[in-house]
Amino acid sequence: MPGACIERTVEWVDTDAAGHQHNSAIVRWVEAAEAELFRRLDLPGYFPCAPRVQHVLNYRGKLWFGQRITATVKVQKIGRTSMTFAFEIHGQPHEKSAGGLAAYGTFTTAYVPEGADAAQPWPGHFLRAITGAGAVPA
C-alpha cells in the first residue's frame, strides 16, 4: 500500500508551555504527510470528501523546539467506504533528546462526496490510484 514521508522542524508555535510539542502539532504533521501522499497519487479531490471518522494517537517521547522530525503515513487498509492509515513521528537526535519514535497511531477517513449525507463507496479512480489494481476492496 502507498505511503509518504515529510520532514519538518519543530517550530515555536508547535510547542506548549512545557516546551515540547503540543498534541495538535502531531496531527498537523501527519496531515501534511497525508497531503504529500495524495499529491503523489494525483488525487487532489481526496481532501474535500474524506473526513476523519476515527483518530488514535499514542505518545512515546517528547519533541523539542528546533528538533527535526520525520512524519510517515501509509495506507493500512482500504474498505468499501473507508480507508485506514498508520502513521509514525520520529525525532532526530537533539540536545534534549536522543531522538526516535515520538508518536504513532492510526486514523480512518470515509468517502463522503459533496452533497452526500453518508459514506459512499470509493470511486474507481481512487481505488486504482491507491491499490494500483483497481480491485474492489473487501
pTM of the model: 0.91
| 23 closest CA partner among 58, 54, 50 | 58
Q: Residue 64 corresponds to which cell in the numbers above?
A: 523539542
In a domain, 138, yes or no: no
Structure confidence by residue, pLDDT tens digits, 8-62: 999 999 999 998 999 999 999 999 999 999 999 999 999 999 999 999 999 999 9
In a domain, 137, yes or no: no
Quote the number of domains for the chain. Answer: 1
At residue 66 the predicted structure's pLDDT band, cuts being 50, 70 and 90, is very high
In a domain, 91, yes or no: yes
In a domain, 89, yes or no: yes
Q: Residue 57 corresponds to which cell in the numbers above?
A: 494517537
* Sign of CA pseudo-dihedral 39, 42, 48, 51: negative
